[in-house]
Amino acid sequence: MSPMRSGQQAVSSRQYAVSSRQLLTAYCLLHTAYRFIRVFLLACLALTVCAGDQLSAATKGPQRVEPRSKVARALSTEIDRAVARRGRVALLQRRSFIVQVNGALGSQHLNKLTGAGARLKRVYGSLNLMAVELPLGRAAALVEDEDFSYISLDRPVRSLGHVEVTTGTAQARALVSNTTLDGKGIGIAILDSGIDEQHGLLKAAPGHPGVVYRQDFTKQRAAGDPYGHGTHVASLVSGNGDFAGGAYRGLAPGANLISLRVLDENGEGAESSIIAAVDWCIANKDAYNLRVINLSLGAQPDDSYRNDPLCLAVRRAHDAGIVVVCAAGNGGKDAAGRKLYGAIDSPGLDPSVITVGAVNTLGTDQRSDDKVATYSSRGPTRGYTVSANGVRQYDNLIKPDLVAPGNKLIAASSYNYEQRQPNNLVFTHPELMTRNTVEPADQLMSLSGTSMAAPLVAGAAALVLQANPTLTPNLVKAILMYTAQPLPGFNTLEQGAGELNLEGAVRVARSVRPDAEGLSNGQPMLVENLPASQASVIAGEPCSWSQGVIMNYCFAYGSDLMTYWQGAYAANHLLSDAVAVAGGQLRNDRNLLSPEVRLSRGVILTDGVILADGVILADGVILADGVILADGVILADGVILADGVILADGVILAD
Ligand SMILES: [Ca+2]
């Protein structure tokens, strides 16, 4: 059984894009004909009422890519469903809509709407659209009127403002005296599909440096971000707080972005490009104070992390003192929707990096309703080596390391100025666009995936490093895990240590002695005590810290992890160096862990697979060799994507 893969979706989207382009070309040809054959046009007036609208959309570019119908797809599905169920109540229910009009918005439009029982919520005169409330059943009838061009549901926008609160970032900003934590001075490399630097959330402004360096590692040498993924990711990291009243402020708006383009206009890239970009980061880290790399991309592993070239590259970056953040992948379920374990992408399967899964916040600041997204890739890692007699030895490391909001996040939508059209993600999936403005630099889109969760952790790492620039990558990772909040009902292979809690992370980070790296294993490392409760309060709710750190095969826990320097935090180690498997038992290295740190009592089977005692696998999921026996879940095999193609997330079906 092979897991659902974004790559398959990317291929089909591309085919869809070609046909859409052909449609647009046809419209443009029609438009030319319109100029020269007005007489003919008059004779065909009835026909052009609809086509003319599409023509203007085609020439203006971003307005609407392929208006096949006057009713948005999601809305027409809802109406159909209500009608099929004879749902009188559903049809009478008042909903919020965006109504677009033909021609200049005038009193005739307002009169018709109020006549249909609509309540006007907001009128956007310059955009010729209105936000209204209307019974669902009236919506379809409304668009029969020629004065109206398009109607869609006014979907709830989950702005980053929500993410800023629910991750504890809003509180964390003021935790260091005399400064506002915004990532200032920290360089963050975004290895992705490029960044649209003209976008309102990303262009340079006072207090918001935006992109300070850019280089294209693909063969295309394209400007901006024709695919759209990298711009979205970059604005989650550092969107300008002056845009739209701060509703989409990134976690680290003061950081310096380094845009290294490794994915092409279809979201695909080669391993070699990524390795070259990572090596560029290592060579230039001092020039840009480059402390964080974000990799919202991945490939299915066909190698152990010990041999995987991407893993070796990110390991070099880690060893050079850079915090590397990777998306876990979106392989959490198969095509039939069944839960899947063992689908962590490369390079997220390397023990040195911070691997991030996605949380569905349900759009609320409170975290008590948060869930790990169904598509978020679960551990263990399934890279493998093959022994001399042909037997696969799987890595089986616990991943992800933590989870962060990643479902339906609204952020910047890049514009393709060369072709005068939205980015390819929006071009092929117009429903992703959540803020469709005439000004391309103000457009926003909604994406879901671990690709969206990773940049929140990258931004968080930048704030932690601003709070305490002396921290090693291992200590940054340990602090983020230690202060993360375990979500009830999800095991460690689903959520790692828990959900990102920046309030707690900054509180610990600022307390670490600046000379901590010179300490020996077990020496006190804080300048103040840990809070007695070891919990944060976010959106009025207590959020307990996990108080532990994942180390390959187990969960190390105890306050000593934060109160005493651990040898494993040093730059020349991995956290997981502190724990070894010997004779089927976990043993901790006394030189790398202080005596009071406990290890979860996981039993290690002879083939290196964990059989946990309920600490790690709370819901009783049992791992055997290659198959999960409990509750029908399936363990993905190390399926091979042989040609070294790297994929960004395609468009995934959000929870
Ligand atoms: Ca929530």
Q: Give tens-digit pLDDT for 414-466.
A: 999 999 999 999 888 888 888 878 889 999 998 889 999 999 999 999 999 99
d(CA 303, CA 177): 47
Query: Which pLDDT belongs to residue 490?
Result: 84
* pLDDT given at position 155: 55
From 451, 511, 576, 594, active-site residue: 451
Selected catalytic residue, list 109, 229, 318, 573: 229
Q: Please, what is the Cα angle at 446 between 229 and 263, to 5 degrees? A: 5
Mean pLDDT calculated for residue range 130-158: 75
Which pLDDT value is given to residue 154? 64
- Over residues 400-420, the mean pLDDT reads 94
Closest-CA residue to 457 (of 491, 407, 485, 499): 499
Catalytic site includes residue 96: no
pLDDT at res. 77: 77
Q: What type of residue is 580?
A: A
Which residue is it, tokens 């704030």?
463
Question: Hey, CA dihedral for 57, 63, 65, 67, is it positive or negative?
Answer: negative
pLDDT value at residue 122: 67
Q: What integer pLDDT is reported at residue 336 of this predicted model?
A: 75
pLDDT score of 637 more than 70: no
608 pLDDT higher than 80: no
Burial bucket for residue 269 (CB in 10 Å: 0-12, 13-18, 19+) = buried
73 pLDDT above the threshold of 50: yes
At residue 40, does pLDDT exceed 50? no
* Tokens encoding 196: 């649209």
> What distance in angstroms lies between residue 540's CA and the mean position of ligand 1's atoms?
12
Quick one: tokens of 146? 């020629």
Share of the chain above pLDDT 90, in %: 45
Average pLDDT over residues 523-544: 95
Give the Å distance between the CA of 499 and the centre of ligand 1.
11
Q: How far is the CA of 352 from the centre of ligand 1 (A)?
A: 29
The H or E element that residue 40 is part of is helix 38-43
Instruction: Please give the distance, rounded to the nearest whole angstrom, from the Cα atom of residue 371 to the centre of ligand 1.
Output: 8
Rounded to the nearest whole angstrom, what is the distance from the C-alpha of residue 562 to the centroid of ligand 1?
28
Q: What is the pLDDT of residues 321-380, one digit of tens each?
A: 999 999 999 888 877 777 788 889 989 999 999 999 999 998 889 999 999 999 899 888
Residue 492 Cα, ligand 1 centroid: separation in angstroms?
20
- pLDDT > 70 in the chain, percent: 77
Separation of CA 134 and ligand 1 centre (Å): 28
Task: Give the Å distance between the CA of 453 and the centre of ligand 1.
Answer: 14
CA of 362 to the centre of ligand 1 (A): 5
Instruction: Specify the higher pLDDT residue, 377 or 59.
Output: 377
Least confident range from 9-13, 85-89, 399-403: namely 9-13
Q: What is the mean pLDDT of residues 151-165?
A: 64
User: Is 235 a catalytic site residue?
Assistant: no
From the list 607, 631, 638, 637, the residue with the least C-alpha distance to 617 is 631
Lowest-confidence pick of 32-46, 85-99, 115-129, 532-546: 32-46
Helices 229-238, 450-467: crossing angle, 10 deg rounding:
30
The residue with greater pLDDT, 124 or 505, is 505
In tens, the pLDDT along 539-557 reads 999 999 999 999 888 888 8
> Omega into 422 within 30° of 0, i.e. cis?
no
Ligand 1 centre to CA of 167 (Å) is 10
Contact between residue 468 and residue 510 where contact means Cβ atoms under 8 Å apart: yes
Q: Which residues of 111-128 are buried (b: 16+ CB within 10 A; e: fewer)?
A: ebbeeeebeeeeeeeebb
Where residue 127 falls among pLDDT bands split at 50, 70, 90? low
User: pLDDT band at residue 153, thresholds of 50, 70 and 90?
Assistant: confident
Residue 298 phi, psi dihedral angles, 5° rounding = -175, 165
- Cα–Cα distance, 441 to 452 (Å, whole number): 20
Q: CB neighbours (10 Å) of residue 620?
A: 10
Cα(574)–Cα(25) distance, integer angstroms:
54
Q: Which domains does the chain have, with CATH numbers?
A: 6-60 (no CATH), 73-153 (3.30.70.80), 161-647 (3.40.50.200)
Residue 240 predicted with pLDDT over 70: yes
Q: Which of 53, 149, 182, 192 is catalytic?
A: 192
Compute the mean pLDDT over every residue in the chain, rounded to the nearest whole number. 79
Which helix (H) or strand (E) element contains residue 543? strand 541-544
Asked if 382 contacts 636 with a C-beta cutoff of 8 angstroms, the reply is yes
pLDDT range class, residue 584, cuts 50, 70, 90: low
Distance 54 CA to ligand 1 centre (A): 40
- pLDDT tens digits, 596-605: 998 875 433 3
Residues 626-630 have a mean pLDDT of 33
Which residue stretches of 419-501 are H helix? 424-428, 450-467, 473-482, 492-495
Which comes out higher in pLDDT, residue 79 or 193? 193
> What pLDDT, on the 0 to 100 scale, is given for residue 45?
27
152 CA → ligand 1 middle, Å = 26
pLDDT > 50? residue 636: no
Mean pLDDT of 550-579: 93
CB 538 within 8 A of CB 166: yes
Q: What is the mean pLDDT of residues 287-294?
A: 98
Q: Rounded CA gap, 224 and 196, in Å?
A: 4
Q: Which has the closest alpha carbon to 531: 568, 494, 501, 504?
A: 504
- For 9-37, what is the mean pLDDT? 38
Cα–Cα dist 106/542, whole Å: 51
Q: How many angstroms is it from 168 CA to the middle of ligand 1?
A: 12
- Whether the Cβ atoms of residue 360 and residue 278 lie closer than 8 Å to each other: no
- CA of 501 relative to ligand 1 center, distance in Å: 13
The pLDDT confidence band at residue 130, using thresholds 50, 70 and 90, is confident
CB 349 within 8 A of CB 304: no
Distance from the alpha carbon of residue 368 to the mean position of ligand 1, in angstroms: 6
Span 76-108, pLDDT tens digits: 777 888 777 777 777 888 887 878 888 888 888
Q: Which residue has the tokens 């890279």?
A: 383
Ligand 1 centroid to Cα of residue 159, in Å, is 13
Residue 128 banded pLDDT, cuts 50, 70, 90: low
Instruction: Single out the residue of 618, 488, 483, 475 nearest to residue 548, CA to CA.
Output: 483
Task: Please give the pLDDT value at position 221.
Answer: 80
Instruction: Please tell me which residue, 164 or 35, carries the higher pLDDT value.
Output: 164
pLDDT surpasses 60 at 63? no
Is 637 considered catalytic here?
no
Tell me what pLDDT residue 647 has. 53
State in Å: Cα 529 to ligand 1 middle: 30
pLDDT score recorded for residue 372: 93
Look at residue 335 in the predicted model and tell me its pLDDT: 75
pLDDT value at position 161?
55
